[in-house]
Amino acid sequence: MASEILRKASSLLVLTGAGVSAESDIPTFRGDNGLWNKHNPEDLVSVDGFRRNPALVWEWHCSMRKLAMSSNPNAGHFAIAQLEREFFRDDNFLLITQNIDDLHRRAGSENIAEIHGNIFYERCTKCAFRRRSEVIYDDVPLCPQCGSILRPDVVFFGEPLPEMEIAKSFSFAQNTDCILVVGTSGVVYPAAQIPYIVIEHGGKVIEVNKEETPLTKYADVHISGESGTILPEIVKTIR
């Protein structure tokens, strides 16, 4: 059923969450073994937390950067990249990810909206300076242009999502034939709203998740299991 929907689709929107990266041994944030059970997010990923203690925030983000660098894309990441490369080129494909670990890009995905940012980018708190970096800092990094503190270019709690990325995501959702929702809990908004926009405009929903979510009862197809196992099989069957 999933392969039939994809075979008939002229465009594809993919929405991924932490469950995809969990298969690359990157812990999820929520759930029984989630990072937020061990750490207070208000200290590590909030605007106020960064103002209070930028060194602590950078220490944690560098640990996440190091973890991402030591991890590799899994078969699910590569299958999503293959869908873009072989079946839905150019303007007919968009990958929206809530993950900040860069694994989709390393797997070969190109048309990506990283709505929560990317752990390998940092920007100045004062001027427009921004850069990619894989440095694991011992101290709080400073802007080479104005000398102000740099911050991780990820979305902190209390901040809006990137306006251009969200606008692009919502626009694509209104016009796509199909959305493939992979490894996301379906409870974090506004990302959780995106599949319902697709439904409202007549598109099909395929959900791949180890557990049922609030979206499951609305999906045209729900496949229970790991994306690294399921997605490569789907790709094989739509050829």
Q: How far is CA 65 from the centre of its chain?
A: 15
What are the start-end ranges of the H helices in 141-226? 163-175, 194-200
Do 235 and 209 touch, CB atoms closer than 8 A? no
CA distance 146 to 88: 43
Q: What is the Cα gyration radius of the chain?
A: 18
Of 61, 77, 104, 116, catalytic: 116
Q: Rounded to 5 degrees, what angle do the CA atoms 21, 23, 11 make?
A: 60
Q: Which H or E run contains 80?
A: helix 75-86
DSSP state of 143: -
3-class secondary-structure state, position 179: strand
DSSP state of 176: -
110: phi then psi, degrees, rounded to nearest 5: -120, -50
Query: Any catalytic annotation for residue 116?
Result: yes
CA distance 237 to 239: 6
Residues tagged active-site:
116
